[in-house]
Chains A and B, each alone.
Chain A
Amino acid sequence: MSAEGIRGRFEGLFERDATLVIAVLGALYLAYILAGVAFGYELRGQLNSIANLTFFIGVFGMLALALNLHWGYTGLFNIGIVGFMGIGIYTTALISKPPVGDGAAQVGGFGLPLLIGVPVGVLVTALFGLLVALPALRLRADYLAIVTVAFSEIVRFTMMSRTFQTFTVPDTISLGPLAVNPAADTVGLGGGGGLILNYTNPLEALLRALFLWEPYLGFVGFVEANVISNNPKPVLDGLLYGIVLIVFVGLFYLLLSRMGKSPFGRVLKAIREDEDVANALGKDTDRFKLTAFVVGAALMGLGGILWYSGRGSITPPSFRPNITFFIWIALIIGGAGSNTGSFLGGAIFAGLLYEGPRYFKNLVQTAFELGDAPRNFGEAMAGFASLDPMPFILYTLDSVSQLRLVIMGVVLIWLMHNRPEGLLGHRKETASSVDLARPGAGGSTGKPAAADGGEEQ
């Protein structure tokens, strides 16, 4: 395979997928900016809305990519995503929260920097992934689903449990010859009250690690002096965090597409299609499933950390299974089996289904200057008595946040009927590190579809 051939192939891939990604993202951002204009947002409001959108595109994109490794590639039916996310952020919090003394009202942590806390969080998630996978992967797909969803609920109830609310850490822990004296005295999962994430701001920690903190502060000062006079830092923080998330999405994509486009990914696909066949062809399918599950779980842990680490606190109710199903919807929209599709699904889900309804409601209310909505369903229906649908429409609009799930359901049903393979058509990325065209035949396998790289994606 010539270097030109490889480059040509990557260019072809880049053009096709990148165009689509840019088009979708462009449309989403444009819609949000236009909505902002309609709301009469100042620059600050616009930037806030963009930062918010970027955040959700980032987290859903990332998690959909991680789920794609489980379901799209390996066919592992994991519906316990949120459990792994929770383990990730709780571990990070436990490691990095500042220590508190004995008898403090609050639970503390070990006070280690986030640069240690985040990798440990990912690692611990991976270990829990292993713990779940070891017994469950020998079972049939539906049993794995039951085990994972039960696991994620166990995780949530453990977070809430009084038993794990606080622990007392002994003053010295001796590890063989090594005696450690952790600063922490009281740690724990915080019970129903959750944990206050009072460690260093993750963005600040990251920028300091990259020696970019001072330049960033300088930039903030510049913006304050010239563009947004009124405390622009939170807005810029949000935007920057969004960019960090997008960078992580890129890293996820790189890692996962490399995994997919290799003999490793090929075996995963074969397991998805027919495990017995893969086994009969000499592949140790249990080992492959285990590896894929653990890696995917670790990525979900990292996704959870990035989602919640910027929040002021975490509480168990944030880790209900609905998050898991949101990510599933994102993956289904995008098309399971395709990494680009997974990210696009995450972006579209975040922009249209997750955040969209609220914007739509505000937009309609701004546009039509509607009056107050009825306070309950009875009043809403009462309008029909006089053939006036207005109260009902207003009521519906007002409860649009609650109706989000209904809208998601409708979209899913529509997709299942009209495009079950997802937006991007699924399972197209050829699992190989090289172009599979006949060697020396000019990259053509005689099929026009392959000649333009169409099937080679």
Chain B
Amino acid sequence: MSETDESAAGESPPVEETAADAEPSPAGDDVSGDESSPDTDLTALVEDDPDTHAGDDDGRYAPLEVEGLRKEFGGITAVDDVSFDVEEGTLTGLIGPNGAGKSTTFNLITGMLDPTEGTVRFNGEDITGLQPHEIANRGLARTFQIARELEEMTVLENMMLAPKGQVGESLWRSVMPFVRGSVREQETEQLERVWEVLDFFEIDHLADEYAGNLSGGQRKLLEMARALLTDPDVLLLDEPFAGVNPTLEKRLLEHIHELRERGYTFLIVEHDMDLIMNNCERVIVMHQGQILKDGTPAEIKESEEVIEAYLGGEV
């Protein structure tokens, strides 16, 4: 999978290529990974990739497809006929000036807002207008623009919340004397994964801290770690680098690249052009609610209209 990804995005910037060289694609190999198996370690967990179904005609499977998306708030059209798809195992950037409709598009995809028109398809299924939790449970996880931690819960509690299909979320199971054992068992299994992910993001030393006490950057890490624990196929990151210092930004990027190599798909909204240009293999540029340009970073850089509209013709 990834080899083809890389060759397809051949003209992508240097970071891309080095990343591909360093890690010879573990993603495609493990398609039989068992999601529900609790003792799969993190690597197996993130490599496991159930969606290698035969995709579109051109052979690249796109788990997320958006078609003719439109959202009107009163008289204002925030998102106007937006169509794009996100291909599996890629890092796709969504950029645009303030008010371009990026966050609205995110909210439309994840069910926080209902579109006026258009469809969102995920893994071939129409998910338009579903509740956010239904969409999340189908494997489409998101983070928020301003890191939204559950402040008066510890980092561990934040993390333990995320996994899907927890039997203890039913009231009677958590209360009744005999079935409570099964809850405890599942939580113990879950806990191992939680610690692995904490280790992966190097925030294990903060495990007992209240999330409200974390710094901005640590919150971003926690939020991504938490989203990862929902076992998603596609991660939508809303400005993951906003307010993050350069060192941590580098770390976050490393994590994202590593996860992508393991088969995760990312759609990232970001303000920082350079960051997107240097790291994404595909960039979608939005302007005034519409898609202005959709292509590789090199194509975007050369595009007259993008330079005109977005960069004010200065570059």
Chain A interfacial positions (CB closer than 8 Å to B) = 1, 255, 258-259, 262-267, 269-270, 272-274, 276-285, 288, 291, 295, 337, 426-427, 430-434, 436, 438-439, 445-447, 449-450, 455
Contact = CB atoms under 8 A, between A and B. Distances in A.
Contact of A431 (B153, B173, B226, B227): B153
B298 interface: no
Given A258-B174, A264-B170, 9 more contacts: A262-B183, A264-B171, A273-B149, A274-B148, A278-B150, A280-B112, A282-B136, A433-B187, A436-B156
B174 A280 contact: no
Contact of A265 (B174, B195, B207, B227): B174
A273 B171 contact: no
B171 A259 contact: yes
Contacts of B112: 276, 280
17 contacts: A263-B160, A263-B168, A267-B161, A272-B152, A273-B149, A273-B151, A274-B149, A277-B148, A280-B144, A282-B230, A283-B133, A284-B133, A436-B157, A436-B160, A436-B191, A436-B207, A438-B204
A273 B194 CA distance: 20
B171 A270 contact: no
B168 A433 contact: yes
Closest A-B pairs by Cβ, 10 of them? A262-B174, A263-B168, A282-B136, A273-B150, A263-B166, A282-B137, A264-B174, A436-B156, A279-B132, A262-B168
B187 A455 contact: no
Contact of B184 (A276, A431, A433): A433
A455 B208 contact: yes
Contacts of B305: none
A434 B174 CA distance: 12
Given A434-B188, A439-B192, A266 B151 contact: no
Nearest to B150: A273
A274 B223 CA distance: 13
A282 B133 contact: yes
Contacts of A445: 207-208
Interface in B256-278: none
B301 interface: no
Given A280-B142, A283-B133, A433 B183 contact: yes
Contacts of B131: 279, 284
Interface string B170-192: 11011100001001100110011
Instruction: From A277, A427, A430, A447, name the one whose CB has the most chain B CB atoms within 10 angstroms.
Output: A277
Contact of B191 (A255, A285, A439): A439
A295 B172 CA distance: 11
A131 B183 CA distance: 30
Interface residues of B, number: 49
Contacts of B207: 436, 438, 445, 447
A433 B137 CA distance: 23
A291 B173 CA distance: 13
B133 A277 contact: no
Interface in B179-225: 180, 183-184, 187-188, 191-192, 194-195, 204-205, 207-208
B187 A273 contact: no
B141 interface: yes
Contacts of B175: 255, 258-259, 262
Contacts of B142: 280
Given A263-B169, A445-B208, A450-B208, A281 B184 contact: no
B161 to A, nearest CB: 5
B171 A295 contact: yes
A291 B171 contact: yes
A283 B208 contact: no
B171 A281 contact: no
B162 interface: yes
A427 B152 CA distance: 7
B226 to A, nearest CB: 7
Interface string B124-146: 00000001111011000110100
B40 interface: no
Contacts of A449: 208
A264 B157 contact: no
A123 to B, nearest CB: 16
A284 B131 CA distance: 8
B154 interface: yes
Given A281-B136, A434-B184, A447 B161 contact: no
B164 interface: yes
Contacts of B2: none
Nearest to B226: A281
A278 B180 CA distance: 23
A243 B224 CA distance: 50
Contact of B174 (A283, A337, A433, A438): A433
Contacts of A291: 171
